[in-house]
Chains A and B, each alone.
Chain A
């Protein structure tokens, strides 16, 4: 083995690949809102997504009743 072969060049540590977030099942489900998923980030932080359940009357009020008039 030559002396050159013994020299070890310090290598920069390879950057660890960022693991993909995973999703958790439903966490909470009450009358008004429902959590559909929580995305768990690689470092364990959690993004919470909530579905807000509307009453029938509120859902109706959020609707456009008129039709597109002919031009």
Chain B
């Protein structure tokens, strides 16, 4: 399956509820049969014993079926959440921090997240790593902003906002770049450097996901840092391939 949505599938679609219902039905039916036999005028003791043994068998099989269904559901649930991607992003964040010798950078020094392509929108798969800003589940048009452009053209791109560029000018640029005025105004205002790396499928130009990074320091993504981020994203792409597409 592709990178899953941030919205988990409904509980009823799992196997455990179905197995539990089947088990309860079998036990109720068996109990009812025994009760009927016990209250019957022509009660047959061997038949009651046979029904009792059958009931115990049904109970055991139902318990086993529920246990197996739960194990299978747990395995599928693990594949149906994008949260595992945060592990890769933490590694990438730590690698950049070490590369830049930043001992204890504050919140938002570097933010990293992943957006998965879903039709004509990009869904932020996980909350930002490197910040408490969250954001998982937000949706953006592929016709707007840096991530939209990278999703459309499949190129690694970085954007640098000059240190002396005021907020009004910056918001004006974002709107010119396709964001709505409202969306532009809700962006974090202390961002100066941006980088987006696409993850694609071979043979087609379909971008599957975009790794997005931004930083509060102008010109943060120099050539060395960019190369490091691209190498880290290669590792993330390998994980996505192994975990979601081949798992």
Contact = CB atoms under 8 A, between A and B. Distances in A.
Interaction A to B: yes
B173 A21 contact: yes
A50 B158 contact: yes
Best-buried of B169, B200, B202, B238 by chain A (most CB within 10 Å)? B169
Given A32-B223, A48-B160, A69-B1, A64 B208 contact: yes
B212 to A, nearest CB: 14
Contacts of A39: 173, 176
A45 interface: yes
B55 interface: no
Given A64-B200, A66-B241, A69-B1, A47 B233 contact: no
B157 A50 contact: yes
Nearest to B230: A58
B108 interface: no
Contact of A42 (B164, B169, B199): B169
Interface string B148-180: 000000011111111011101110110010000
A51 B237 CA distance: 20
B45 interface: no
B245 interface: yes
A35 to B, nearest CB: 10
Contact of B156 (A54, A65, A67, A68): A54
Given A52-B156, A64-B201, A68-B245, A45 B164 contact: yes
Interface of A: 18, 20-21, 32-33, 36, 39, 41-43, 45-52, 54, 58, 60-69, 71
Interface of B: 1-2, 146, 155-162, 164-166, 168-170, 172-173, 176, 197-202, 208, 223, 226, 230-231, 233-234, 237-238, 240-242, 245-246
10 contacts: A18-B172, A33-B226, A47-B159, A47-B162, A47-B173, A49-B159, A52-B155, A61-B237, A63-B201, A64-B202
